Amino acid sequence: MDALIHLGNGFLQVLQPANLLVLFIGLVLGMLVAVLPGLTLVMGVVLALPFTYTMELLPAIILLTAMYVSGTYGGAFTAILFRIPGEPIDVPLLWDGYTMARKGQPAKALGWTLFAALGGGLITTMVMVLLSAPVAQFALTFSSPEYFAIIIFGLSSVVSLGGGSITNAAISLMLGLLIATVGVDSIYGAERFAFGVPFLQDGVEYLLVMVGAYGLGEVFTRLEKGFAGDGTTADTDRSISTEFPTLAEMLRLKMTFLRSSLVGIIVGIIPGAGATVASFVAYGAEGQYGKRGKELGSGIAEGIVAPQTAATSSVGGAMIPLLTMGIPGSGATAIILGAFLLHGMQPGPQVFVTSGPFVYAVFASIFLGVIGMCILGYFAIKPLVKVLELPEAVVSAFVVMFCFIGAFAARNNLSDLYVITAFGILGYLFEKFKFPIAPMVLGAILGPLAESSFMTMMVSHSNDWTVLMGRPISATVMVMAVIALVYPIQRQLRERTRRNGTTQ
């Protein structure tokens, strides 16, 4: 009952004109970012970060979460209509969404996407509201070993679930953790890896790592591929409409919808996975368990509903560990965590005790964001897809500018521009040599938290690290972390042995 009252108050806060305006801007920006092939969702949220420096915390989080929500949906338009996936999330939509459009039913395909985004979004928000408070309550019982174990689980799942090879992801993660150690250590006040350079003594801001590696690095990577000259050649002037499915059609797909929502929420909760994994896994699950699984790829509605529902559902799932434990579940939530920290708020188990009304206002904004995103998607497809005509070189030049201003504005320090340029080059090299960037960014963000919980654990338990295995929760989570790392390696080794056996 309390939750409902808080949620009601949250709605009242979000419905204030200034917050509504921020929500609307966030939704539009998220969709634009998702539509433009040169910009990823995570990059978009990074670029919006500097605008939040002078905002109050609530509008700042509303802006970023609105971008996050609508970013999981906007790319569907171009994937279905022009076979241009704005994001990797939208790749599964090419197989059935674009095929359905080519069969002469683009409006129907867009309608199914809208239904999936709306339904998935509303379900995930409800689950988020229902689960967050109990999870935070449970997390209040955690001590430093449990906290450390959860961070280790989060980091190991980032390694095993993300892109790139597992060893490259591990190297990326450890570099991120090392970056977090630069500067003056908070316990002893000792200087680490600063080499006497004043701005390194203050430490490397994770914001610079994020903006440099995600923003500049991506621009450099695309520049090497020689930007697409004058924007898309797709026919963005054609008539575009959305045809919502009938109730009977929707009911026929209820199992697909429920299954994919569940997949999205679970994948979202697991740190490091995010909307892209959710979208692919849901599509795969539909192929395996769906009634018409064998027809996937031929332009059927199930192939649209499954990935889109899961992608949008993953948002609420990812917000749960972020708000209740301070552990981001995806690249975008890592940046939202960054925004929390920049505004002096540390999400975690205490969040409902110290900032309950604020958290419910965030929930309310996601509720309204999902509805707003679908309204926008219904009425504004045409102008949205028009941005495909923007030349990539022009867009990229401005992306670099936003990166620089974002980096500079955080501390008004010109030295930070050198740092993000260095991370931009590092981000490019990561892409070039197939090292994923997300583990490095998460390592840089979670590094201080991991170190402080480790040091506290060691001090409180007389340097006995085996305490991790002596407590039921931390032991279980550590076992999960080991499984998360070992299972994919073991599975792929088994697959390889089988393949070798077949070819011999």
Residue 347, phi then psi, degrees to nearest 5: -65, 150
Q: Which is nearer to other proteins, 89 or 323 (CB)?
A: 89
Q: Is 217 in the site for other proteins (CB under 8 A)?
A: no
| Beta carbons within 10 angstroms of residue 307's beta carbon | 37
Q: Is 165 in the site for other proteins (CB under 8 A)?
A: yes
Residues in 228-257 at the binding interface with other proteins, rule: CB under 8 A: 229-230
Q: Is 148 in the site for other proteins (CB under 8 A)?
A: no
User: By C-alpha distance, which of 461, 467, 457, 474 is closest to 187?
Assistant: 457
Alpha carbon distance 140, 208 (integer Å): 32
Residues whose CB is less than 8 angstroms from the CB of residue 53 and which lie 6 or more positions away in sequence, other chains included: 342, 409, 410
Of the residues 9, 11, 20, 192, which one makes contact with other proteins according to CB under 8 A: 192
Q: Which is nearer to other proteins, 93 or 136 (CB)?
A: 93
Q: Is 223 in the site for other proteins (CB under 8 A)?
A: yes
Q: Is 87 in the site for other proteins (CB under 8 A)?
A: no
Residues in 276-305 at the binding interface with other proteins, rule: CB under 8 A: 276-277, 280-281, 284
From the list 68-76, 111-119, 226-234, 347-355, the region that binds other proteins by CB under 8 A is 226-234
Handedness of CA 244, 249, 253, 257 (dihedral sign): positive
Q: What is the DSSP string of 76-90?
A: HHHHHHHS--SSGGG
From the list 23-31, 141-149, 201-209, 416-424, the region that binds other proteins by CB under 8 A is 416-424
Q: What is the DSSP string of 330-369?
A: SHHHHHHHHHHHHTT---STTHHHHHHHHHHHHHHHHHHH
- Smallest distance from the beta carbon of 463 to other proteins, in angstroms? 6
Q: Is 428 in the site for other proteins (CB under 8 A)?
A: yes
- Smallest distance from the beta carbon of 311 to other proteins, in angstroms? 13
Which residues in 388-415 are b (16+ Cβ under 10 Å) and which e? bebebbebbeebbebbbebbbbbeebee
Q: Which is nearer to other proteins, 143 or 165 (CB)?
A: 165
User: By C-alpha distance, which of 337, 372, 424 is closest to 27?
Assistant: 372
For residues 41 and 88, is the Cβ–Cβ distance under 8 A?
A: no
Q: Is 412 in the site for other proteins (CB under 8 A)?
A: yes
Residues in 91-110 at the binding interface with other proteins, rule: CB under 8 A: 91-92
Q: Is 177 in the site for other proteins (CB under 8 A)?
A: yes
Residues in 320-359 at the binding interface with other proteins, rule: CB under 8 A: none
Alpha carbon distance 172, 177 (integer Å): 9
Q: Which is nearer to other proteins, 119 or 162 (CB)?
A: 162
Q: Is 394 in the site for other proteins (CB under 8 A)?
A: yes
Residues in 454-483 at the binding interface with other proteins, rule: CB under 8 A: 454-455, 458-459, 462-463
- Smallest distance from the beta carbon of 1 to other proteins, in angstroms? 40
